[in-house]
Amino acid sequence: MNGSSPRRRAVVFVSLATASSLLGDQMLYAVLPSHYGELGLEPYQVGVLLSANRIVRLLSNHFAERACRWWSPSVLLTLSLAAGAGLNVAYGLFAAFPILLSARILWGVCWSFIRQIGMMTVVDHAVDSHLGRYMGYYSAISRMGSISGNLLGAVGHDLIGFTATLLLFALLSGVMVPLGLLARRLSPPLRQSTADDTARRPNRALLMCGFVSGAVGQGLLASTLGAVIATRQPGGIDFHGFSLGVATLTGLLLSSRWLTDLSAPVFGASVDRWGGRQMGATYFLLGAIALFAAAFSSSVAGLVGSVLLFYASAAGVGVVLHSMAGAGGSRQIARYVTASDLGSAAGPNIGWLVLQAGVAVHGVFLIGAGLYLLAGCTAAIAITSRMVPSSESEVL
């Protein structure tokens, strides 16, 4: 991607700042499900910790959208990135459940601002006819923070310990904070959010699909995959003479999304060309098939293949929904991400309640498959796009 245009660099910089903020948060998803006992936590507390940051965002998302109209988004983004980096220290130094819960709630508020301002930075600098592609680049770059947190966090836990890894992540996140401010000040945007954005009616099908996307990929599967692996392969696996522990294997699977997330611009181009309804239905259906296959897979290879196919589908779903929400303006983004967060908050609790009740682990995949199938039908029938073609030809 040619970085000569300041507007293009703005997209890259805000994406990198967003990615760095996710390191510690995503490490918890790889490590807590299989090692919560080391911190003195109970299974239900894992579900609470992995969803508390999402529950608080049901309120803070709309506050963040309004706050950006009252105060400088540049200042708000910088403060949120700095606070998020500092919370990694709290995760690493304090194992008490009340302290961890408070840190997770504060992180949820920070993420509301980071995501809202990040997505609007992309929308404000994007050519309308290529909004899907711009959002694809944002998704691909920012997702690398999740991947690094999953993989490096799990490996770091096994090699240097929980606390040392989180302190290192805090340092890395802090170093990247200035990129957020630079992205906001680098160039004038093509457009600014206006009051007209707030007058648009919510796209209910989009909100329902956003809920399912959050509940399954970001909530249900991400929070329980470690427990599923620990049940199926309690001793880990031996791979060509190397022994992989449960945490490392979980991190590898969660971080395997990089193969598909790096293709997010391609998914975005498909939205620009064929539209959100068709591509949303397609990606949801493929995800449902992958989860059904994972539920009945009896081998590690089958499970890995199914998870990879699901993550490819989830990456496509994410780009479709992000693009359509961004096309609707800042208020539509706030509504969409709140629906997604509601799903993300519900997902871990549903999954861990299923496991707590002793239901077979494949039940987690079946629940996810059913939700994806429902969302696919909704997308095919009712979802609409507000993306407007543009005569401008500049692309990332």
Domains of the chain, start order: 6-381 (1.20.1250.20)
Beta strands per DSSP E along 186-247: 237-239, 242-244
Cα–Cα distance between 166 and 11 in angstroms, integer?
A: 27
Hunting for tokens 């509301």 — which residue is that? Answer: 112
Specify the pLDDT at position 234: 60
Residue 194: pLDDT band (50, 70, 90) is very low
Closest by alpha carbon to 291, among 231, 379, 371?
A: 371
Place of tokens 């956003």: 210
> Which of 155-159, 209-213, 270-274, 314-318 has the weakest average pLDDT?
270-274
Model-level pTM? 0.78
Q: Cβ(376)–Cβ(281) under 8 Å?
A: yes
pLDDT in tens, 162-183: 889 899 999 999 999 999 888 8
In degrees, rounded to 5, the angle at the alpha carbon of residue 136 between the alpha carbons of residues 134 and 137 is 70
80-139 tens-digit pLDDT: 999 999 999 998 888 788 999 999 999 999 999 999 999 988 888 776 667 888 888 898
Rounded to the nearest integer, the mean pLDDT of the chain is 81
Q: Write the Ramachandran bin of 236: left for phi over 0, alpha for psi from -120 to 50, otherwise beta.
A: left
- Reported as a single tens digit per residue, the pLDDT across 34-72 is 777 777 777 778 878 887 888 898 899 989 999 988 898
Q: Is the per-residue pLDDT at 1 higher than 70?
A: no
pLDDT digits (tens, 9 = 90+) for 344-388: 778 877 777 777 766 666 778 888 899 999 998 888 886 654 444
* Contacts (Cβ under 8 Å, ≥6 apart) of 93: 163
